[in-house]
Structure 1
């Protein structure tokens, strides 16, 4: 998996600007058929800054789509509030709940939601023709044509959705979202129905459009690569809560919990018990002996887990001498993945994954090492 974090220079600066979206204490529960209650959103609070691309990342059932739909007004929360551009559009306490059409936002669905009986032109023009006040015909035509040009599909103006590929439909859905000039666009896994190569291209196009037009985006996905490439910040969700909210590099390199570490990228793990603290380090006793890494806030005797990334793990002659955790290992598999090679090694009862070119063969005896600075010690229950 290729992980790409955006250049900080491209990110919107934090300042005193009013957030485009402000979510405060939002909660929503569903009652299951057996009478039990499931919290789809559990006391979520976050802001989306003007021009920011915020990605809601998590597995199915984590609450990310429900959260997106409450921003849009398609779901009604049980508690909390939603403000758009400083104006409350939902408040459980005050009984405010503006309908979607009054929230001044656009939304792109997983299914694209294009009208099958309308041409691409008419699909894109739909929000303009239903706006109040309604633009004149010449203005509608000019703005629709500009939107088609912007997404690179002017030739599709008179085509119907069933005459387009999935990628083309996605472009038309995006054109419809941006034609109204809204400063907030919501995306519900919009690229999941197109093949990998088209998805890569559409991500780049979407990123360029968002930078050019400057709208704020809230984007739902379960795809880690997609989140890393698109986001200024990622909100990693689990069980209806935001488990971590940070820029992509921080989420990947410094996850705050075992859950985040394992969901975002691949993580090697060693479970153990905290035995002592050093200067900025914590040492665990594990099945492979002692492991030292970086962590504050755990007490001696706590159950914990040492987490380290495959690309930070070294093998054999490449292993760093000193200031590291080193164990004897056997090569279990060498997997050629095209752009990179993954090596799987067995150290005792544990398996570790490594990325990079290693001149080893299956069954070979070697050593595996990871520097203390590259090991995070996290609570075991995360």
Structure 2
């Protein structure tokens, strides 16, 4: 009888979601707190629908225009040395099948949330803190997903989610299936090959437990210059095109000059968008423990320090490391007596989420996001920003008018 009642409630909520997803959101949240798995799927779908209404500016503008170019092409072609092809191939397939590009955004965001929710539920079977503090743990996992990063740029944010799953399987569950997700990650965005190499080093059995090296690496914030980092990159055994791509972030426009084109409010919001990394690193350094994930994070934080010479590399590395640090805090260490620390982390994650939304306020101002207020799920799924809308609202540089 009780099971039938639960099924009836689930059916009604799913029906309401189809008719009006925003109106259904409070009901979804209630069911999520009641530990209903279907509600997590609906929550992921809701975030995917929000991504579909995100306007094509910046990187998303370029990806959208690539999609329109693929419509007239009979064959899919890759550039020489381009192995991060997943988005481009999906765009080609969708363009030739007549499927709107917005559905690619839905897939990337939806799958990212499903990956994080899967890790959350799987860890909840064995982790004391998640069992005792389910709601706060769920909020931590939800806000750890870089929604704006995925919706705006697609490739890097989704690649991070795939790498998280690979890292979880390889360093926590010790299962080789993680290599599949890690490889899919670098086929989505080449820059994650660095994290793949770090995982490979740790899996070889190289155990680094002393965190003194992390304190030493913090000197990079003060003394390391971009010129020195350029020389290090050129010495690495990486293909030339990857070195060139990384160097563009170290010494090019994205190394810090792009901040000069934005207001003080944007710069502050950009800093707050990754502020969660600082308390997490602080808590991490207080813990004495040996594990593969611990070794990975020691090397990763050293890399994070070195990347401080480039604002773009520093931000990207910061955003990536937040989730593995959360996994460490929740899985490796018994956090049952550290509720206040995790509450503080949640507050920082909420600040990060809101800051990212604020930094994209101009972009959201020209969007069709208001349609969430009255549209059904079906109408949003068929929503598209056509070329005419793009030419009227977005410049050739990808900036909103």
Which category describes the TM-score, using the shorter chain as reference length? under 0.3
Q: Tell me which protein shows more strand as a share of its residues.
A: 1
Using CA pairs below 8 Å that are at least 6 residues apart, which structure has the higher relative contact order?
2
Instruction: Give the TM-score of the pair, scaled to structure 2.
Output: 0.22
Q: Which has the larger radius of gyration?
A: 1
TM-score between the two structures when normalised by the length of structure 1: 0.23
